[in-house]
Amino acid sequence: MAKDTPLSYRNLVIYEVYVRNHGPNGTFSDVETDLPRIRSMGVDVIWFMPIHPIGQLNKKGSLGCPYSISDYRGINSEYGTNADFIHLIEKAHSLGLKVMIDVVYNHTSHDSILVKEHPEWFHRDAGGRPITTVPAWSDVIDLKHPQPELTAYLIETLKGWVRIGVDGFRCDVASIVPLDFWLQARHEVAQVNPGVIWLAESVHASMVAERRAVGLPAFSDCEVFQAFDLEYDYDIWPVWQTAVIGQGPLSRYLDMIQFQDSIYPVNYVKMRCVENHDQARIMRLAPSHSQALAWTAFQAFNKGAFLIYAGQEAAAHHKPSHFDIDKIVWGNYALQPFLTRLANLKKHQLLASGQFSLLGYEPVLQAAWFSQDKGLYGVFNTSLTSGMVDVQLPDGSYTNLLDDQDIRVVNNQMPAPAAAAILAYQAAGAPTPMDSDFFHFELPPE
C-alpha cells in the first residue's frame, strides 16, 4: 500500500455521479446546482464517471458508454465545455468538496485519437486490427502496456487534469494495468500535487485468475495497494452479495472481512458500498427495505471509506443505463436523512484510529469501534429478527445515533432495531470479538 496513505482516508465519504443521468439536462451546470445538497449530506469527495468524449464506432446503445473514451484530454460536449468543468471544480472547492475523475487507461474507443495517431500502442490480432482482451467489452480496444511513449502521454494527461484542480483519480480496472505504470504515475503526479487521492477499481479475484491463466497481466489487491490509497472490495464482493440475498452464510462474509485485516497493510483502506454504477441497487438486491437499510448502515460502519451512488438517497431501485439517457427519479430524497447520519458518523475519529471488531452475527450482526475507554457499538438487523437480543453493553439508557430513539439495555439485552442502531458507550475493556472457525484449525489426535 502507498506508505503515506493516512488513516483519515477511512473517514472519507465519496459520492459517485454520472453526469448524463444526474440532472434535468445532464450537464455540469446541473451537477453544480446540486453541489450544496450533496455537500450537506456529509460528502467529502465527488467522483465523476468519465467526463470525456465517447467513441461512436461500435458504440453500445444510442449514446455509447462513458468508459469508451475517444479523447482522454477532452470534455464530452453533452455535459458542457472545459470552462464549465473548471467552474464546477471551483464551486466544489468553495464548498469544501474534493473532485475525483475516472481514469480509463486499459482501453479506448475504436475511433479514439490514440488509435488513429498511434496504432502501435494497442493490442492487435494476427491481421493487425486493434482488439480488446475482454470479448464482452466489444465497444473498446485495449492499450498495450508498457510502452514509454504511451506511459509519458498518459501521465502528462493526468498532470493536466491536476493542474486545473482535479483532486483525485478513480482508476478503472486498475488491476489489469501494469503496477509499474501506476507507481510511476503516482510519483510524477505528486510533483504537481502530493495530495492527490488514488482509488483503484481492483477487480474480482476471478478476473485476476482468468487473465493470469492466459498470460495477460493482472495484479492482486495486495500488489495494487502499493500504488493506491483506496481500493474496491471486489475481492470479497461476491461473498457479500450471496449473504445479502440469503444464498450464502453471513459468517463466511464476516470471515472474509477478518481475512482482509490479516493480509493487507496495517493502514489499508477499502472503499465500502452497497451499490455503484456496475452493481445492482441495494433496494433491488436486498429482500426487504429494512434489510437494505441494515446493510447500508453496516457498510458505512465497516472499516474503510464509504461510497454513495447518486440516487441512493432517493431509495432508487433502478440502476441507470450506461448507454442511454436514463434519468434518476429523485422523488422526495427519502433516504437522504439516513445517509446523512451515516456520513456524519463516518467522520468519527474512532472509525479511523480505533480498533474495529466483529462481535457476532446470530441473531443480528454486531460490531464495534473502540479505544481504551469509549466506543461505538453497531447492531445491524440483516435477518429481520424481532424481540430482545444479547449485546456486550453495560446496562443503561442509550440513544440510537441513526434516529435519536432511546434504547434501554437491561441484563445485557436490547430490543432488536427495525434496521440498525449505533450506540455510543463509555466502558473500560474491549468487547469479545466473534470466534471464527476460519482462523482456527486443530490437527486430529495421532
Q: In what order do the strands lie in the sheet with 420-426?
A: 355-360, 365-370, 374-380, 420-426
Q: Which among 352, 385, 414 is the end of a domain?
A: 352
pLDDT score of 440: 60
Contact yes or no for 403/330 (Cβ under 8 A): no
CATH number (domain holding residue 427): 2.60.40.1180
Q: Calculate the dihedral angle through the C-alpha atoms of 101, 104, 110, 111, rounding to the nearest 10 degrees.
A: 40
Establish if 297 belongs to a structural domain.
yes
Residues 195 and 167 in one domain: yes
User: Do the beta carbons of residue 364 and residue 388 sit within 8 Å?
Assistant: no
How many domains are contained in the chain? Answer: 2
Is residue 228 situated within a structural domain?
Answer: yes
Q: Are residues 313 and 335 in the same domain?
A: yes
| Tens digit of each residue's pLDDT, the chain (446 residues) | 566 889 999 999 999 999 999 999 999 999 999 999 999 999 999 999 999 999 999 999 999 999 999 999 999 999 999 999 999 999 999 999 999 999 999 999 999 999 999 999 999 999 999 999 999 999 999 999 999 999 999 999 999 999 999 999 999 999 999 999 999 999 999 999 999 999 999 999 999 999 999 999 899 999 999 999 999 999 999 999 999 999 999 999 999 999 999 999 999 999 999 999 999 999 999 999 999 999 999 999 999 999 999 999 999 999 999 999 999 999 999 999 999 999 999 999 999 999 999 999 999 999 999 998 899 999 999 999 999 999 999 999 999 999 999 999 999 999 999 999 999 998 767 899 887 766 665 666 77
Same domain, yes or no: 166 and 279: yes
Q: Are strands 305-309 and 13-17 parallel, antiparallel or unpaired?
A: parallel
Q: Are 79 and 26 in contact (CB under 8 A)?
A: yes
Cβ within 8 Å of residue 297, ≥6 positions away: 342, 378, 380, 402, 419, 420, 422
79 found inside a domain: yes
Residues 342 and 423 in one domain: no
Question: Which residues form the domain of 371?
Answer: 356-437
CA atoms lying within 13 Å on the CB side of residue 4: 8
Amino acid at 31: V
Residue given cell 450537464 in the structure block: 27
Determine, yes or no, domain membership for 444. no
Q: Are residues 46 and 137 located together in one domain of the fold?
A: yes
- pLDDT for the residue 4: 80
Lookup: cell for 70: 475517444
pLDDT at 434: 87
Q: What local confidence, expressed as pLDDT, does residue 437 receive? A: 67
Which residue from 60, 83, 56, 79 is spatially nearest to 69, judged by alpha carbons? 56
Q: Which region holds residue 61: left if phi is over 0, alpha if psi is between -120 and 50, else beta?
A: left
Does 446 fall in a domain?
A: no
Whether residues 108 and 212 share a domain: the answer is: yes
* Shared-domain flag, residues 264 and 193: yes
Query: Does residue 295 sit within a domain?
Result: yes
> In this structure, what CATH number is given to the domain that contains residue 166?
3.20.20.80
Contacts of 292 (CB under 8 A, 6+ apart): 274, 282, 283, 285, 286
Question: In 3D, which of 164, 155, 172 has the Cα closest to residue 102?
Answer: 172
Do 288 and 421 reside in the same domain of the chain?
no
For residues 148 and 239, state if they share a domain. yes
Residues 58 and 24 in one domain: yes
Among 331, 352, 373, which residue terminates a domain?
Answer: 352
**Which residues neighbour 27 within 8 Å (Cβ) at sequence distance 6 or greater?**
19, 78, 79, 80, 84
Distances (CA, A) of 157 to 55, 310, 349: 18, 27, 36
Asked if 363 and 321 sit in the same domain, the reply is no
pTM of the model: 0.96
Largest Cα separation within the chain, whole Å, is 75
**Amino acid residing at 103:** V
Q: Quick one: 190 and 149 in the same domain? A: yes
Question: 239 lies in a domain?
Answer: yes
The answer as to whether 193 is a domain residue is yes
**Domain end (from 335, 352, 369):** 352
Among 328, 352, 312, 335, which residue's Cα sits nearest to residue 419?
A: 335
Look-up of cell digits 504537481? 192
Residue whose C-alpha is closest to residue 268's, from 219, 228, 301: 228
